Amino acid sequence: MTRFQAFLGVARAPFLILTPLCVLLGFAAAYALQAQGEPLHFNALNLILTLIGATAAHVAVNALNEWSDYRSGLDKLTQRTPFSGGSGTWFAQPELLGFALQVGLGALAVTVLCGLYLASVSGPALWGPGIVGVLIVVLYTDYINKRAWLCLIAPGTGFGLLMTLGSYYVASQQLTWEALAVSLPVFLLANNLLFLNQFPDTDADRQIGRHNIPIAMGKPRAAQIYAMTLVAVYGIMLFALMATDLPWGYALGLLPALAVLPLIRGVQRNAENIPALQAFMGMNVAVTLLTPGLSALGLFVQPWFFPLN
C-alpha cells in the first residue's frame, strides 16, 4: 500500500462528496438572492478556500477517527459495511497508523489557516463557528460519541450550520432567514446520515464505551427518530419556499422526497436486520447527497434562465 492509497483510506475519500455540496449550496443561495437585490461579496478565491478548508475539516475528522478506532480496538470488533465500520486501512499495514494522525493534524491545520484568512476578509462573525468546528473535529471520536444526543447533532452542526451557513456568510457577509432555511435541511440530513450508519456498529460501539441513540434507545425507537427527522427535512424546505424569499429553483431539491416513504419503511422494517438494512443505508446516502446538490443546482441555474431583476 502506497502513502497515497493510505491517505485515500484514512480520509475516506468516497465519503467526502457531501462537503463541496454543502459549500456550494451556501454560495448558491447567496448568488440566487443577489439576483433579487441582496448584496454578494463573491470572489473565486473565497470560494476555493472555503471548499479547501471545509474538505480539510472533513478529512481531519475522518483521519482522527481512523486513528482512534484502530487504537481502541474497535476496528477489530466491527463488521464493516460499505457505509460503516471504518476503512480497514490499518489491517493491511498497521505500521502506518501514525500516518493517520499526521493526516488528521495536517488537515486540521489547513482548515485553521483557511478559516483565519476567511475571517480576516469576511469579519469576526466567523470566529465562533470556526472554534466550534475545530472542537467538533478534535472531540468527535473520543468525547462526542460517548454522549448520545450530542453525537446525534454533531454531524449536522458541522455540515449544515457551519459549512452551509458559513459559506452563505462568506458570500454575502450577512445572515438571513433564507440562509437558515437552506442550512437546516442539511443539518437534519447529515445527522441522519451518520445516525443510520451507527446501526450496524452498536454492539462493537457499546464494548468500547460509546453511547449513541441506537445504543441508548434501541434500534426500533431510533428508526422512529430517523423517520421523523427525514420528514422534517422536506417539510422545512416546503415552508422555506412559502415563507422566505428563496427562489423557486430551490424546489429542485425536493425531488429526493420521492424516496422518503420507501426509505422510512425499509429502515423501520429492517432496523435489526443489518444485511437487509444496507440497501436502505445506500438509499439514505443518495438522498443526503442529492437534496443539497439539486437545491444548489436549482438556485444557480434559475437566474440564468429566469432573471429575477
46-84 pLDDT tens trace: 999 999 999 999 999 999 988 887 777 666 666 666 666
Alpha-carbon distance 153 to 191, whole Å? 6
Cβ neighbors of 191 (< 8 A, separation 6 or more) are 152, 153, 155, 156, 229
Q: In angstroms, rounded to a whole number, what is the distance separating the alpha carbons of residues 110 and 59?
A: 10
Q: Which of 94-103, 182-191, 195-204 has the lowest average pLDDT?
A: 94-103
pLDDT digits (tens, 9 = 90+) for 230-275: 999 999 999 999 999 899 999 999 999 999 999 999 999 999 999 9
Buried b (16+ CB within 10 A) or exposed e, 268-307: eebbeebeebbebbebbbebbbbbbbbbbbbbbebbeeee
Banded model confidence at residue 38, pLDDT cuts 50, 70, 90: low
Which amino acid is it at 198? Q
Q: Is the pLDDT of residue 199 over 50?
A: yes
pLDDT bin (cut points 50, 70, 90) of residue 307 is low
| Cβ atoms 26, 164 nearer than 8 A | yes
Q: What is the pLDDT of residues 17-33, one digit of tens each?
A: 999 999 999 999 998 88
Checking if the pLDDT of 41 tops 80, the result is no
User: Given a cut of 80, is residue 149 above it in pLDDT?
Assistant: yes
What is the grid cell recorded at 277? 438494512
Residue 96, pLDDT > 80, answer no
User: pLDDT-based confidence at 309, cuts 50/70/90?
Assistant: very low
- Share the mean pLDDT of the chain: 89
Residues contacting 98, CB < 8 A, separation 6+: none
Confidence (pLDDT) at 90: 57
Answer yes or no: is pLDDT of 205 > 70: yes
Nearest to 157 by CA among 179, 119, 118, 184: 184
Return phi, psi of residue 234, to 5°.
-80, -25
pTM metric for this prediction: 0.92
